[in-house]
Amino acid sequence: MKKNVIFILLMISFFPVVHSQSKLTAEKVGDKIEIRINGNLFTSYILSEFEKYPFFYPVNGPSNASVTSFRNANYPHHSSLFFGCDKVNGGNYWQEGLKDGQIISLRADIVETGGSRVVIENECIWRRPGADSPIKDKRIITISAPSKDKFQIDFDVTMEMLMDVVIDKTNHSLFSGRMDPDLAVINGGVMINAEGETGEKGTFGKSSPWIDCYGKRLEKIEGMAIMQHPSNDWYPAPWFTRDYGFFSPTPMYWPKNDKNTTLKKGQLIKLRYRVLVHSGNHIEAGIAQEFEKYKSE
């Protein structure tokens, strides 16, 4: 009997402990989709017709507090984690005010829920009063939890040009994140790119596959990284960064030969981004290794 007990204990000690997989769920609640990880709210994808564009808020870290900020008095057009663009055929699909342009959700379907990930399909039209719509886009949003200290949003978008489109030179373009003030550089946080350059001074205008922003909260460190997939048009786009907590891979601000970006009717622009919300700094969270994995996908 004792030999059997010893054998069982040895077998238990030999095999690694397998952690149970996180359960992710998505549910439509009014004009948003709530995504939960093991019952805890991770993020809401907000689709209100009264907003400028769909966006994610909150984006809760492992501490259950949002790593992103929902606007402020100085920058009311920074809506947490979002996708938009200014100066599109004379329209504005970025800053506050709906009369100059708005990205409207036509369809948002939860296609996978209740397992190890959530998948959402979202079709949007870019429109403004008195003008034909220049762009239609389709988004595939995949949310997962690789570990208890790391949550992931994959944002894959295909933009279809419904007419010839001209985007004037603008720093307000495409996928963007606004960090919670607690985690911003001006309040002691860190902003670092793949090359190890830090802060607005080191990262502004620099092409890099990713940037990670993190800071201390309740004696623990957590943050959010944004990665660009190598298959993207304009990869690696230079980054527009601010020490107050804004960062965005922004290809429309740095044209070398022409101040405008010109796209033809029927042209498709496919862009993929990965967001990692994590505990620890960029080394502890393995952001460089995570990017190596991402670029092979």
Task: Report the mean per-residue pLDDT for the chain.
Answer: 92
Distances in Å between the Cα of 98 and the Cα atoms of 83, 94, 101, 115, 123 are: 15, 10, 5, 37, 19
User: Model confidence over 131-174: pLDDT tens digits?
Assistant: 999 999 999 999 999 999 999 999 999 999 999 999 999 999 99
Flag whether the pTM goes above 0.95: no
Q: Is the pLDDT of residue 8 over 50?
A: no
Q: Is the pLDDT of residue 17 over 60?
A: no
Distances in Å between the Cα of 178 and the Cα atoms of 80, 144, 159, 160, 165 are: 5, 21, 23, 26, 27
Q: What's the pLDDT at 259?
A: 78
Q: How confident is the model at residue 20 (pLDDT cuts 50, 70, 90)?
A: low
State what percent of residues in the chain have pLDDT above 70. 91
User: Model confidence over 276-291: pLDDT tens digits?
Assistant: 999 999 999 999 999 9
The DSSP symbol for 250 reads -
Whether residue 249 contacts residue 290, with contact meaning beta carbons closer than 8 Å, is answered with no
* Architecture, CATH, for domain 24-295: Distorted Sandwich (2.70)
- Tell me the mean pLDDT in the region 47-55: 96
The larger pLDDT score, comparing residue 95 to residue 193, is at 193
- Tell me the mean pLDDT in the region 75-98: 90
The Cα 104–Cα 241 span in angstroms is 27
The larger pLDDT score, comparing residue 168 to residue 257, is at 168
SS3 of 186, please? helix
State the Cα angle at 284 between 278 and 286, rounded to 5°: 75
Strand locations in the chain, DSSP E?
A: 24-29, 32-37, 40-46, 55-59, 81-88, 91-93, 102-112, 117-127, 135-147, 150-161, 165-168, 173-178, 190-193, 210-217, 220-228, 239-242, 246-249, 260-263, 268-279
Q: Is the pLDDT of residue 275 over 90?
A: yes
Quick one: the chain helix, strand, coil %, rounded to 5?
Answer: 10, 50, 40
Q: What's the pLDDT at 78?
A: 76
Residues in CB range of 43: below 8 A, 6 or more apart: 35, 56, 57, 58, 59, 60, 81, 143, 153
Burial (0-12, 13-18, 19+ Cβ within 10 Å), 285: buried
Tell me phi and psi for residue 259, to 5 degrees: -75, -15
Whether residue 80 contacts residue 177, with contact meaning beta carbons closer than 8 Å, is answered with yes
The larger pLDDT score, comparing residue 5 to residue 36, is at 36
The Cα 152–Cα 39 span in angstroms is 16
Q: Is the pLDDT of residue 7 over 50?
A: no
Q: What's the pLDDT at 79?
A: 87
Q: What's the pLDDT at 254?
A: 85
Distances in Å between the Cα of 171 and the Cα atoms of 86, 257, 287 are: 8, 17, 25
State what percent of residues in the chain have pLDDT above 90. 85
> For the chain, what are the domain ranges?
24-295
Q: What's the pLDDT at 257?
A: 62
User: Model confidence over 223-253: pLDDT tens digits?
Assistant: 999 999 999 999 999 999 999 999 999 999 9
Q: Is the pLDDT of residue 11 over 50?
A: no
